[in-house]
Structure 1
């Protein structure tokens, strides 16, 4: 094994002190990633903390705290008078109850070089534990696969010759866009035609296409903090300079936004205005007007991400900024059909027609084909009112689950947490009144049969919070999961 001081730690340990995630947690996550990807194989001896803290430019106490976490999770072990060593992956699996969704091994004899991204990582984790939280996903058990299957099969049986099928592709796609744009106009208060609409296979593809066309490496992009890890990853990958602004009790800090605009040229403000991720705070009416005025005054583009519109629980949903955009400063992206089976949901972009034309050029490379059958099925669902019926039914179910979840939180964790009741969405933003180590809490919950993915954990110097999704849980599952939270909280705080 090479001398530990020869290991190029800076090439694969990427720390960002300016971010809200505590620095020791960044070190923990980066070391785990390096071990899983093979940069730090079993048996590797690590340098002493004094040497390594100089290499990584961090405080020694911060590094020691990170190493304590890594050792408690089974990723490293410290032997008296010998040093600190990387454990084997087999040992790690014995000490943890979850695994990464995709395990990547380092290729040592590859015959060519290629660009490696230190930004784009798959944050998804898979667990076999009986109880699990996520960041707010719908319940797959509620999806009406039988109805969709019948419609799909009927469309397949009506399919004519391939030549005729090819000829109707564009006409069918235009018909789908017509009904879909009308649906968006009706439900979200925006005023668009087919020329203002781009449909994509997913919300993530929609965001990627927009950032590809809209943002250059020299640009400055403002995001809220805390923010959505997936969108932040996509935005950072453009090479732009990311500027964070805090979120207050009524949305982003517009005073801070104006201060930034007065000293810098901002290209884009990325905003989850109606239902901020992860805190679930809606942007107040006053601030919504302020944001639009600032965009008009300083010339930046508002990239509005309405990722969870399908799940609002009142009769007067907060309309997107795009509904009030008279100066064409808003690019509106969202998702449709989250309650539909996998493969039937859509992402979309609503924007000025010239911008949509440019997006289509790039989409033709990423998604050159049109799934005519799927579009015809969804068009029929929209025109027959099935989408509205399903949406109304699901909102009733998820509202009941939200209320049940809140009741159980108040019953079992009263005095330990604070939260606000969200008017939409499938998650609750929970702030813990005690300041404790979330990684230790995660491990304790895992030992008791409850999985908390790291993507729902938020910890800074002044914040210990968790985004708890409830949409996928029935009442009995909620009670058990929250009971485990309570039990583990008592263990680590007493």
Structure 2
């Protein structure tokens, strides 16, 4: 006899009706083979007495089982499991506490699939209460213009003629945003583009992915810095590309190395973070910018320019991107509004020759039909009204002050352990170790002191990437009090490690 009283659990506080709960659990018993085909279900009166529910509830559950095809009714005999259902091997009942086998079955796939060991699988969960995080260099979401976004979003959704944006729209992205971005990028970055050259993406990472898939689909070579944005490297590998690493110095990637490679073999692309090299924050010099553009025209390769934090440059006016001087149609320019506003605002853009954006839109269609048209329209209005520009200027001032405080305290308190250059822009500092210390041990000890070092750090256990000599310590997302406390905890960490060395 099946112990229905113990294996069926009904929650009267649940929003799911009791009869549906009963129906679903009986279906699970059928699926697990506990109730095989042609087996008889208990009578409705007996089941109602056993489960202490109204008989009409049981009748409703049994009727639902018949409607769904799990059971069949034989007049004057009762309700039976459908005889046409396949016979299955009896398995543990899901949720039964007597065995953990059901949990193991759910976690282990019963089929083969491709394992991508080269891809990161870290969950960016929120830190525990009291934990301070040195991130990779992200904006402070606490100063994001939430009220302005909410107000404009409400204005957009209230207007009846905007309801068309609730349906499918252009795979290129909202037309108004593409037009607003065209004017904005032409004005602030010296581009000479049109809305037809702009493809809206879900952040810059999607732009990198689309570019990599189109450029490296046949196993091409992409040139990257020996220190480089790790997520981009993994995208290139995932896309079937081969990484060719070149030197990076105080003037950015060494373009003479690019030329030397081109003389011996064909390359598909050069990936560059020209404004503030990721992770070292150095700026690509003017002569190397010109050299790289000339090489791209001569050897017919693409330049994937990831301009992830153009708006945050402190020492002088931002240097115009490579895309502003591209006369050969060789630059794919990638950026994102989420770096200005907040990481959760997943709106980025790709600017490229028309035939390339057309092809990228075809690929984008099969992985993500479109973005968020209402949010895109909201941001278009905020760009037109100057809200995004005003917030950018406000954030620039705040981050500039935080950079100065961070670098001053870092030099004052921790110069014995770290070497660094004050970055001209961006939201992080590239910090290198002076002594023979291990970043992994520093990170482990820092956690004990309530400090998480989560930037681009040399992971000694990474099977793909070589360990970096330094790490990025993001300062933009920390206020002044948090910066002081974070560096005090880092000082305590290093003093402890120094004693052990």
Report TM bin, short chain. Answer: 0.7 to 0.9
Matches within 5 A, 1:320-469: 320-341=321-342, 343-453=344-454, 455-457=456-458, 464-469=469-474
Matched, 1:482 2:471: no
Question: What is the CA–CA distance in structure 2 between the aligned matches of 1:172 and 1:110, rounded to whole Å?
Answer: 37
In the TM superposition, what whole-angstrom CA distance separates every residue of 1:83-107 from its partner, at most 9, and x where no partner exists? Answer: xxxxxxxxxxxxxxxxxxxxx9897
Question: What is the CA–CA distance in structure 1 between the aligned matches of 2:472 and 2:106, rounded to whole Å?
Answer: 36
Matched, 1:282 2:283: yes
Displacement after TM superposition at 1:165 (Å)? 6.4
Question: What is the CA–CA distance in structure 2 between the aligned matches of 1:193 and 1:184, rounded to whole Å?
Answer: 10
Displacement after TM superposition at 1:351 (Å)? 0.6
Tell me, what secondary structure is at the counterpart of 1:178?
Answer: helix
| Contact kept? 2:173, 2:370, Cα under 8 Å | no
| Contact kept? 2:451, 2:489, Cα under 8 Å | yes
Displacement after TM superposition at 1:445 (Å)? 0.9
| Corresponding residue number in structure 2 for 1:119 | 118
Question: What is the CA–CA distance in structure 2 between the aligned matches of 1:389 and 1:425, rounded to whole Å?
Answer: 18
Question: What is the CA–CA distance in structure 2 between the aligned matches of 1:161 and 1:189, rounded to whole Å?
Answer: 32
Tell me, what secondary structure is at the counterpart of 1:467?
Answer: strand
| Corresponding residue number in structure 1 for 2:109 | 110
| Corresponding residue number in structure 1 for 2:14 | none
Matched, 1:263 2:268: no
Tell me, what secondary structure is at the counterpart of 1:451?
Answer: strand
Question: What is the CA–CA distance in structure 1 between the aligned matches of 2:467 and 2:206, rounded to whole Å?
Answer: 34
| Corresponding residue number in structure 2 for 1:159 | 160
Distance 1:290 1:423, change over 3 A: same
Tell me, what secondary structure is at the counterpart of 1:269?
Answer: strand
Displacement after TM superposition at 1:370 (Å)? 4.9
In the TM superposition, what whole-angstrom CA distance separates every residue of 1:154-195 from its partner, at most 9, and x where no partner exists? Answer: 222213495696599799922221111111111111110011
Matches within 5 A, 1:26-425: 110-126=109-125, 127-128=127-128, 130-160=131-161, 173-341=174-342, 343-425=344-426
RMSD over aligned Cα, in angstroms? 2.7
Structure 1 length normalisation: TM-score?
A: 0.74
Displacement after TM superposition at 1:407 (Å)? 1.2
Structure 2 length normalisation: TM-score?
A: 0.73
| Corresponding residue number in structure 2 for 1:52 | none
Distance 1:408 1:282, change over 3 A: same
In the TM superposition, what whole-angstrom CA distance separates every residue of 1:7-51 from its partner, at most 9, and x where no partner exists? Answer: xxxxxxxxxxxxxxxxxxxxxxxxxxxxxxxxxxxxxxxxxxxxx
Displacement after TM superposition at 1:448 (Å)? 1.3
Distance 1:467 1:370, change over 3 A: closer
Distance 1:434 1:118, change over 3 A: same
Distance 1:171 1:116, change over 3 A: closer
| Corresponding residue number in structure 2 for 1:17 | none
Question: What is the CA–CA distance in structure 2 between the aligned matches of 1:105 and 1:388, rounded to whole Å?
Answer: 52
Distance 1:271 1:162, change over 3 A: closer
Runs of 4+ in 1 over 6 A off after TM superposition: 104-108, 167-172, 458-463
Tell me, what secondary structure is at the counterpart of 1:349?
Answer: strand
Displacement after TM superposition at 1:314 (Å)? 4.6
Displacement after TM superposition at 1:241 (Å)? 1.4
| Contact kept? 1:456, 1:468, Cα under 8 Å | no
| Contact kept? 1:136, 1:469, Cα under 8 Å | yes
Tell me, what secondary structure is at the counterpart of 1:428?
Answer: strand
Question: What is the CA–CA distance in structure 2 between the aligned matches of 1:158 and 1:368, rounded to whole Å?
Answer: 24
Displacement after TM superposition at 1:410 (Å)? 1.6
Tell me, what secondary structure is at the counterpart of 2:247?
Answer: strand
In the TM superposition, what whole-angstrom CA distance separates every residue of 1:375-417 from its partner, at most 9, and x where no partner exists? Answer: 2211211111111111111101110111111111121112432
Displacement after TM superposition at 1:464 (Å)? 3.4
Tell me, what secondary structure is at the counterpart of 1:456?
Answer: coil
Question: What is the CA–CA distance in structure 1 between the aligned matches of 2:403 and 2:324, rounded to whole Å?
Answer: 28
Distance 1:133 1:106, change over 3 A: farther
Displacement after TM superposition at 1:470 (Å)? 0.2
Tell me, what secondary structure is at the counterpart of 2:309?
Answer: coil
Question: What is the CA–CA distance in structure 2 between the aligned matches of 1:171 and 1:443, rounded to whole Å?
Answer: 44
Question: What is the CA–CA distance in structure 2 between the aligned matches of 1:172 and 1:266, rounded to whole Å?
Answer: 31
Distance 1:229 1:461, change over 3 A: closer
Displacement after TM superposition at 1:217 (Å)? 3.9
In the TM superposition, what whole-angstrom CA distance separates every residue of 1:259-315 from its partner, at most 9, and x where no partner exists? Answer: 211111111111111110000011111111111122122222111111111322255
Tell me, what secondary structure is at the counterpart of 2:350?
Answer: strand
In the TM superposition, what whole-angstrom CA distance separates every residue of 1:90-146 from its partner, at most 9, and x where no partner exists? Answer: xxxxxxxxxxxxxx9897863322222122222345442521111101111111212
| Contact kept? 2:171, 2:369, Cα under 8 Å | no
Question: What is the CA–CA distance in structure 2 between the aligned matches of 1:231 and 1:244, rounded to whole Å?
Answer: 13
| Contact kept? 1:436, 1:464, Cα under 8 Å | no
Question: What is the CA–CA distance in structure 1 between the aligned matches of 2:495 and 2:165, rounded to whole Å?
Answer: 67
